Amino acid sequence: MAVQIPVKDTDAVETRIEDLCAKRGLRMTEPRRVIARVLSAAEDHPDAEALYDRVKEVDPTISMATIYRTMKLFEEMDIVSKRDFGDGRARYEPQSGPEDHHHHMIDVETGEVLEFYNQELEDLKKRIARDLGFDLVDHHLELFGTRRKKQH
Amino acid sequence: MAVQIPVKDTDAVETRIEDLCAKRGLRMTEPRRVIARVLSAAEDHPDAEALYDRVKEVDPTISMATIYRTMKLFEEMDIVSKRDFGDGRARYEPQSGPEDHHHHMIDVETGEVLEFYNQELEDLKKRIARDLGFDLVDHHLELFGTRRKKQH
DNA sequence: TTACTTGCAAATCATTTGCGGTTTG
DNA sequence: CAAACCGCAAATGATTTGCAAGTAA
């Protein structure tokens, strides 16, 4: 369950994302505040439209263009990261820093997304990049699979 | 260097992809033959437009719609695989079977793409999926990096 | 005040599709 | 000949952008 965070009330405790916006010196407008809170409350990987729907519940005047503009801004500011799970649209999730780095296991039958972290994998990636003569700046890993019904 | 393959002449030796089309029982039309040969000759990861340009040089009457329709068909037939390198468009490459499975290291400064294979990585992925209770059916891994200028 | 933001609608971009005419098997 | 294909142009769907009005610092 998510921590209960007031999405509308201005004098509520700041969310992690609002805090980051402040640290980055971003101008704090009403749409940004609402989007920041919706994002902070999200435990899934919403696409632009899902964000739009959730944001509209709080403030119906906020437009889709603002969702996209804000996501692009947040992405550049390393506040959110954009993911691609193979369907046509981008998904967004709060960037939680290297200490919470993780990847995704996607159930191709249900679309369900599990997050996982594996230190061995992190080390291996870095080593592979280095062996190829690169410094790793980013990487994408998604596993697609089906629930194992019976073990063989 | 690629093996020299006649792209136009009909009585030339069949390419690997044309061969696969035959095996799958696909109707062999002129556009498909040209696309198959262009793909066979490609050593990079062309997007639809790049394919279109190359195909046009052989037969300017072939349309973009056919490129897309053929790519979708080839994909369903496991003749090509579709890749996503983070820019907006899909890239295609001949599917060469499990024995030639590989991943991509993308130079973020030049856009250059290196292919690599790492058995450890293959094993690890499978193990991770299994630990999560899944049978792996597919996976995407791309590493993004910059050329290492000096080692530290 | 003044530069930064936003909503709206129109514009892009990549990809898909309806349709009438064309081929392949 | 019938089913599958194809080119063309219009349709989609996701994301971006120009512009005039609104707003944070």
For the residues A109-126, what does the mean pLDDT come to? 85
Nearest CA in chain B to A128: B118
CB distance B141–A138 less than 8 Å?
Answer: no
Predicted pLDDT at A99: 59
In tens, the pLDDT along A42-100 reads: 999 999 999 999 999 999 999 999 999 999 999 999 899 898 887 889 999 998 765 56
Which one has a higher pLDDT value, A142 or B96?
Answer: A142
Nearest CA in chain A to B147: A134
Predicted pLDDT at A2: 46
Predicted pLDDT at A113: 87
pLDDT at A148 over 50: yes
Q: For residue B75, list chain A residues with Cβ-Cβ distance below 8 A.
A: none
A 111-130 → B contacts, CB under 8 A: 114, 116, 118, 120-121, 124-125, 128-130
- How buried is A71 (Cβ within 10 angstroms: 0-12 exposed, 13-18 middle, 19+ buried)? buried
In tens, the pLDDT along B43-69 reads: 999 999 999 999 999 999 999 999 999
pLDDT at B142 over 90: no
What is the pTM assigned to this prediction? 0.78
Distance B26 CA to D4 C1' (A): 10
CB A112 within 8 A of CB A72: no
Of B80, B99, B102, nearest in space to B91 by CA: B80
pLDDT at B12 over 60: no
A 63-102 → B contacts, CB under 8 A: 84, 86
CB distance A105–B128 less than 8 Å?
Answer: yes
For the residues B128-145, what does the mean pLDDT come to? 86
> Rounded to an integer, what distance in angstroms lies between the CA atom of residue A150 and that of residue B144?
37
HEC assignment per residue over B30-92: HHHHHHHHHHHHCCCCCEHHHHHHHHHHHCCCCCHHHHHHHHHHHHHCCCEEEEECCCCCEEE
In tens, the pLDDT along B97-108 reads: 655 678 888 887
% of chain A exceeding 90 in pLDDT:
45
Task: State the average pLDDT for chain B.
Answer: 85
Strand-pair category, B103-107 with B134-147:
parallel
CB distance B105–A129 less than 8 Å?
Answer: yes
> Quick count: other Cβ atoms within 10 Å of Cβ B26?
17
Of A117, A109, A39, nearest in space to A75 by CA: A39
Predicted pLDDT at A75: 92
HEC assignment per residue over chain A: CCCCCCCCCCCCCCCHHHHHHHHCCCCCCHHHHHHHHHHHHCCCCCEHHHHHHHHHHHCCCCCHHHHHHHHHHHHHCCCEEEEECCCCCEEEEECCCHHHCCEEEEECCCCCEEEECCHHHHHHHHHHHHHCCEEEEEEEEEEEEEECCCCC
Predicted pLDDT at B40: 94
Predicted pLDDT at A20: 92
Interface membership of A152 toward B (CB under 8 Å) = no
Q: For residue B128, list chain A residues with Cβ-Cβ distance below 8 A.
A: 105, 116, 118, 121, 143
CB distance A145–B136 less than 8 Å?
Answer: yes
Task: State the average pLDDT for chain A.
Answer: 85
Q: Please state the separation of Cα A137 from the chain's center in Å.
A: 18
Predicted pLDDT at B98: 58
Predicted pLDDT at A121: 87
> Quick count: other Cβ atoms within 10 Å of Cβ B111?
9
